[in-house]
Amino acid sequence: MAEPRPRVWVSQPLIDAVIEPLRAQVELITTDEVTAWTAEQLAARLADVDGAIITLNERVGAAQVAGATRLQVIANVGVGYNNLDVEALSAAGIVASNTPDVLTETTADLGFALLMAAARRITESERWLREGQWGQWSFQTMLGADIHGSTLGILGMGRIGQGIARRGAHGFGMRVLYHNRSRLPEAAEGEVGAQYADFDTLLAQSDHLVLVLPYTASSHHIIDAAALAKMKPTATLVNIARGGIVDELALADALATGRLAAAGLDVYEGEPAVRPELLALHNIVLTPHIGSASLATRKAMVQLAADNLLAALNVDGAAARMPSAINAEAAFAARTASGDKSKKR
């Protein structure tokens, strides 16, 4: 008798053209409407499936997988995976994956768009025009900061950081400084056109500072009042990483008091809620977490998540390698240790 097909849950409506063909290989449970799943609902959904494709909106930890005895794989649609408790998943023998690379250039584009919009006051200008204020024009109207020839700072020099560095150095003739846990090899620094700097030098010398580092316990509020006080009052701050990296109240205060010229945020600590202190400011550009939101890139992200899922579930019977597993070794070791044969590799 043929083995039953693995059962897979998809937590949100994603891209039908990629998800629907999966029905040929797995028993698919889709979600028709965007849903804010509670912790308990997530646990219930994960309890009787072999795999899940989820987004950053779903937080999965020990409590959500405690009853998920069949669950082998969680394919996260996103490069960041701070919504997952990877340690808890590994301990439960569940392998998790993310979607790196396919979104690098699209997200770097958005970082640059926010930088330019904030520094050149694009959205503020548009509001002013729509409000009919052009009649009040003066020679001093909407003066902003230059991008070309300025110093671009990048905090976090992974793939997206390098994409931003290239755009700054090679497109806009910027001097590019970066700070990262580990320094890039010299050849890579040369290729992207960036120089390493310590954290304080980066803060002090950047005309525009872009945050692209992962969100961890050590990057929580790394941009706080003390860090903001070290930046130039004419500087622009852009966050396309995770909201919790910035102390948003300290940022709102710095922008309101002229300690900092402008900011562009795509991510927020309590998203989808945005603090009223931020909404009240004129010198900030706010976008709703659209870093990877081009159609081609979102398709590629879902495809990569699906490829990871099918490989982990060994759907072709060919023990395919997951393209971007996060914790394969630890999860498989836990399966071996527990002698859990029902979770195939």
Binding flag, residue 162, ligand 8YV (CB under 6 A): no
Binding flag, residue 300, ligand 8YV (CB under 6 A): no
Binding flag, residue 158, ligand 8YV (CB under 6 A): no
Binding flag, residue 289, ligand 8YV (CB under 6 A): yes
Q: Helix H segments across 66-218?
A: 86-91, 104-119, 122-130, 159-166, 186-192, 199-205
Interface region with ligand 8YV, contact rule CB under 6 A, candidates 27-35, 83-91, 284-292, 331-339: 284-292
Looking at 121, 179, 208, 289, which residue is catalytic? Answer: 289
> Over the range 28-56, which residues count as b (16 or more CB within 10 Å of their CB) and which as e?
bebeeeeeebeeeebbebbbebbbbbbbb
Binding flag, residue 56, ligand 8YV (CB under 6 A): yes
Nearer to ligand 8YV, 272 or 339 (CB): 272
Identify whether 242 is a catalytic site residue: yes
Binding flag, residue 60, ligand 8YV (CB under 6 A): no
Least distance from C-beta 81 to ligand 8YV, angstroms?
A: 7
Binding flag, residue 79, ligand 8YV (CB under 6 A): yes
Number of residues lying near ligand 8YV (CB under 6 A): 10
Helix (H, G, I), strand (E, B) or coil at 147: coil
Least distance from C-beta 340 to ligand 8YV, angstroms?
A: 30
Residue 335 region by backbone torsions, left for phi larger than 0, else alpha for psi between -120 and 50, else beta = alpha
Contacts to ligand 8YV from residues 81-120, by CB under 6 A: 103
Helix (H, G, I), strand (E, B) or coil at 336: helix
β-pairing, 27-29 vs 73-76, is unpaired
Binding flag, residue 292, ligand 8YV (CB under 6 A): yes
Least distance from C-beta 339 to ligand 8YV, angstroms?
A: 35
- How many angstroms from the chain centroid is the CA of residue 42? 21
Among 31, 35, 55, 294, binds ligand 8YV (CB under 6 A): 55
Looking at 271, 275, 277, 345, which residue is catalytic? Answer: 271
Least distance from C-beta 100 to ligand 8YV, angstroms?
A: 8
Binding flag, residue 78, ligand 8YV (CB under 6 A): yes
Is the separation of the CB atoms in 271 and 73 below 8 Å? no
Interface region with ligand 8YV, contact rule CB under 6 A, candidates 24-32, 75-83, 110-118, 151-159: 75-83
Of 301, 302, 320, 300, the closest CA to residue 310 belongs to 320
Mask 213-242, x = binds ligand 8YV (CB under 6 A)? Answer: ------------------------------
Least distance from C-beta 137 to ligand 8YV, angstroms?
A: 38
Distances (CA, A) of 237 to 8, 195, 217: 41, 19, 21
Query: Which amino acid would we find at residue 54?
Result: I
Least distance from C-beta 80 to ligand 8YV, angstroms?
A: 3
Least distance from C-beta 109 to ligand 8YV, angstroms?
A: 12
Identify whether 335 is a catalytic site residue: no
Of 213, 106, 116, the closest CA to residue 156 belongs to 213
Identify whether 271 is a catalytic site residue: yes
Is the separation of the CB atoms in 45 and 2 below 8 Å? no
Residue 188 region by backbone torsions, left for phi larger than 0, else alpha for psi between -120 and 50, else beta = alpha
| Two tokens, residue 4 | 């039953």
| Two tokens, residue 57 | 């909106």
The owner of tokens 């028993």 is 27
Residues with active-site annotation: 242, 271, 289
Residue ranges that bind ligand 8YV, judged by CB under 6 A: 55-56, 77-80, 103, 289, 291-292
